[in-house]
């Protein structure tokens, strides 16, 4: 009887519906739990990422303050060629600034008024005792009527009376103010156009980077009214192109778009050429920027010896931007050193390494 009851259709339907309902509740609870765990894991990951970024920023700041080598501490945010150009230009002194040249007289102020004796006749006459032999010519007529010896004695003893004339004297003090002039800056860009800088024989990401840097620096220089010079180099140093107007800017932009790779890379020779161009130039700020992959593939080229001293004598700040490679020789002489590279399939630029003053 009991078995027949259990197998009755209405009992089976009821039992099946209850089981299905229980299974649905369990499945929904399981999904909710998985979703909650996933969200907690995501929140934890995001928090760890933020902590890591904050830690990296603190380390970069401490490294910069201590003057340590922070070249390979890469920026984490995603960058494009224009972003790289902006990062590079942050450390170049384009803006004109006021330079103190001395003090100049801007006016006078009255510090006092007095009545002083004068050697000429005025309307203000006073009678006073003689003060010395120089007053002999100023004796009153009554004193002149005396015997010469008596006159002399009275003048020496300061008993003789003389007439003197006074005039009003205004005492003034000059007012000086600092004098300034607007400084003039020059940005000199050396561009490596060896084959390794172009996609055909080099890394494909280098080409858009150096083009963006050249165009960005050129446009900023024109906007800031700074002088701009571009020289391309490979085995030999190319012609010099100056730009101070928008027309010259457009010509250089067109030229940069059609550059082609050449053989060899003479980095020291290019820097020496720039020093020769800039050392006699009449600029207050001389910024030299070299963009290269850092490879010197000819041992017969000139070395780096003496370059740092020549840069200091000429008052030139050297900015070195290396694309994907390291060069210790350039690092040693550069005032600002940065590396652009692709890490984990992302374009990154290193924190700047500044040269220590000796």
Q: What is the domain count for the chain?
A: 3
171 and 187 housed in the same domain: no
Kindly tell me if the per-residue pLDDT of 12 is higher than 70: no
126 pairs with which residues across the strands?
164
Residue 56: which domain range? 1-68
Per residue in 189-244, pLDDT (tens digit) is: 999 999 989 988 778 899 999 999 999 999 999 988 889 999 999 989 999 999 98
**Closest Cα partner for 254 from 289, 284, 220, 214?**
214
208 and 283 housed in the same domain: yes
Among 178, 195, 225, the domain boundary falls at 178
149 and 277 housed in the same domain: no
168 and 43 housed in the same domain: no
88 and 56 housed in the same domain: no
How far, in Å, CA of 20 to CA of 162, rounded?
A: 137
Do residues 342 and 348 touch, judged by C-beta distance below 8 A? yes
Among 147, 178, 209, the domain boundary falls at 178
174 and 82 housed in the same domain: no
How far, in Å, CA of 111 to CA of 93, rounded?
A: 45
How far, in Å, CA of 261 to CA of 201, rounded?
A: 9
Task: Return the SS3 of 200.
Answer: coil
Distances (CA, A) of 69 to 64, 75, 129, 161, 210: 8, 15, 85, 89, 24
- The encoded tokens of residue 229 equal 């010079």
Crossing angle for the helix pair 206-223 and 246-257, to the nearest 10 degrees? 180
CATH number at residue 207: 3.40.50.410
Query: What's the angle, vertex CA 79, arms to CA 74 and CA 81, rounded to 5?
Result: 115
210 and 163 housed in the same domain: no
* Residue, of 307 and 26, whose pLDDT is higher: 307
Among 130, 146, 178, the domain boundary falls at 178
Per residue in 131-159, pLDDT (tens digit) is: 888 888 889 989 889 998 998 899 899 99
């Amino acid at each position: 009887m009991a078995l027949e009851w259990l197998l009755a259709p209405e009992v089976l339907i009821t039992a099946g519906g209850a089981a299905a309902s229980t299974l649905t509740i369990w499945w929904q609870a399981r999904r909710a739990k998985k979703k909650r765990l996933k969200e907690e894991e995501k929140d934890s990951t995001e928090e760890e990422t933020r902590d890591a970024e904050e830690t990296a920023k603190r380390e970069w700041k401490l490294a910069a303050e201590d003057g340590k080598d922070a070249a390979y501490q890469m920026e984490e945010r995603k960058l494009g060629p224009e972003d790289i150009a902006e990062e590079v230009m942050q450390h170049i002194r384009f803006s004109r600034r006021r330079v103190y040249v001395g003090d100049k007289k801007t006016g006078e102020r009255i510090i006092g008024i007095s009545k002083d004796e004068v050697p000429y006749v005025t309307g203000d006459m006073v009678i006073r005792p003689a003060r010395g032999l120089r007053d002999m010519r100023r004796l009153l007529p009554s004193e002149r009527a005396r015997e010469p010896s008596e006159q002399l004695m009275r003048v020496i003893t300061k008993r003789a009376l003389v007439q003197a004339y006074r005039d009003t004297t205004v005492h003034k003090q000059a007012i000086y103010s600092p004098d300034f002039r607007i400084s003039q800056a020059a940005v000199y860009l050396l561009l490596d156009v060896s084959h390794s800088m172009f996609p055909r024989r080099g890394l494909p990401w280098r080409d858009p980077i150096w083009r963006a840097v050249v165009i960005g620096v050129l446009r900023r220089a024109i906007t800031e009214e700074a002088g701009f010079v571009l020289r391309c180099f490979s085995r030999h140093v190319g012609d010099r192109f100056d730009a101070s107007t928008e027309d010259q800017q457009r010509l250089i932009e067109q030229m940069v778009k059609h550059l082609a790779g050449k053989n060899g890379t003479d980095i020291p020779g290019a820097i020496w050429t720039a020093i020769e161009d800039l050392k006699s130039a009449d600029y207050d700020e001389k910024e030299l920027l070299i963009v290269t992959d850092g490879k010197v593939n000819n041992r017969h080229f000139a070395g780096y010896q003496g370059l740092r001293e020549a840069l200091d004598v000429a008052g030139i700040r050297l900015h070195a931007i290396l694309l994907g490679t390291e060069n210790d020789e350039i690092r040693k002489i550069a005032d600002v050193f940065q590396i652009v590279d692709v890490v984990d399939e992302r374009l990154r630029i290193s924190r700047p390494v500044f040269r220590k003053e000796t």
